[in-house]
Structure 1
Amino acid sequence: MHSDQPHAPVRSQAGHVAPLRLDVDRMLDEFTRLPMRATFRFDPSLPSVVTVEFASTTDRARRIVRRIGRELLHGGLTAMSGCGEVRMWPALPRERPSAWLLLESSEVEGLFEVPTRRLAAWLEATYRLVPAEAEWGGLNWDGFLMELLDGPDAGNS
């Protein structure tokens, strides 16, 4: 079992939130856990997405990188969140608060137990930097809709 003790505090400098590194467990079966390190990164220029890199603590070559919705992670701290390939929900209360993160795709499937205290604090720091209501503020909606409605070859006729 990994600790969820506070290590370095989450530091938010102007326009930046430091990556969060957590010890997590990948469930290989009902009784077998594989300790891993998860690194969560936030890019304010793409605030709706958190990049998470899972790395084996014993084999540095084994890495999984996924981009997960920030809202999905935040919601999964307290309730079932997500559908399809990425889902997160709180684990039953135990000695350390944690959540289950399920990643499914054609290449990989993994169930991870993620400690939630530091993740919650880190996510709050990202929301102080870029509030949820501002996530889509920088998107060029007219250009996006024009491309969506016209298709990629619309100007070539």
Structure 2
Amino acid sequence: MSTVIDQAVQARLIASAARPRAVPAHLRYARTDPYAVHISFPPAASLDGAEVEWAFARELLASGLLTPAGRGDVRVWPCGPRRTVLEFHAQEGVAMVQIDTEELRGFLTASYTLVPAGGEAGLVDVDSEVAALLRQA
């Protein structure tokens, strides 16, 4: 069984321009980081021409499909029956993208097959993680 789920999705970048523009995005979930979902955007979608990656809680994505969720750097909320908005806050500003809700649900379903909800803690070796942090300090 694979330990990583990678899924390409089509996102619509919401900007101050009259029409949103389509940008490819890539969702990733790995058993080695069971609490997090990663989403990356190509260099063309960023202000500085570099690839952008965000990591946020899988639970935040699941909650945001149903009701507005998040208070920090990443916020997620449903936008009608077919789209979900992901809002990213950084020093440079705010970026918002819309992604097809069914694509996100499919991705989450696959992630729950890999690691069931509530099963994340059994995959994290807290002692090793703390030791690694202390070595870096």
- Asked if these proteins are the same fold (TM beyond 0.5), I'd say yes
Q: Which residue of 1 aligns with 2:66?
A: 78
Q: Which residue of 2 aligns with 1:124?
A: 109
Q: Which residue of 2 aligns with 1:109?
A: 94
- How far is 1:109 from its partner? 1.9
CA distance in 2 between partners of 1:47 and 1:139 (Å): 8
CA distance in 1 between partners of 2:95 and 2:32 (Å): 28
Aligned partners of 2:84 and 2:100 also within 8 Å: yes
CA distance in 2 between partners of 1:104 and 1:113 (Å): 15
Aligned partners of 1:20 and 1:119 also within 8 Å: no
Q: Which runs of 4+ in 1 moved over 6 A?
A: none
Aligned partners of 1:89 and 1:100 also within 8 Å: yes
Q: Which residue type is aligned with residue 132 of structure 1?
A: A
2:121 is the counterpart of 1:133: no
Unaligned runs of 5+ in 2: none
Q: Which residue of 2 aligns with 1:100?
A: 85
TM-score, structure 2 normalization: 0.81
CA distance in 2 between partners of 1:117 and 1:124 (Å): 10
2:9 is the counterpart of 1:22: yes
| 1:67 maps to which of 39, 51, 55 | 55
2:41 is the counterpart of 1:31: no
TM-score, structure 1 normalization: 0.71
Aligned partners of 2:5 and 2:30 also within 8 Å: no
Aligned partners of 2:13 and 2:96 also within 8 Å: yes
Unaligned runs of 5+ in 1: 1-13, 153-157
CA distance in 2 between partners of 1:43 and 1:116 (Å): 21
CA RMSD of aligned residues (A): 2.5
Q: Which residue type is aligned with residue 128 of structure 1?
A: T
Q: Which residue type is aligned with residue 88 of structure 2?
A: L
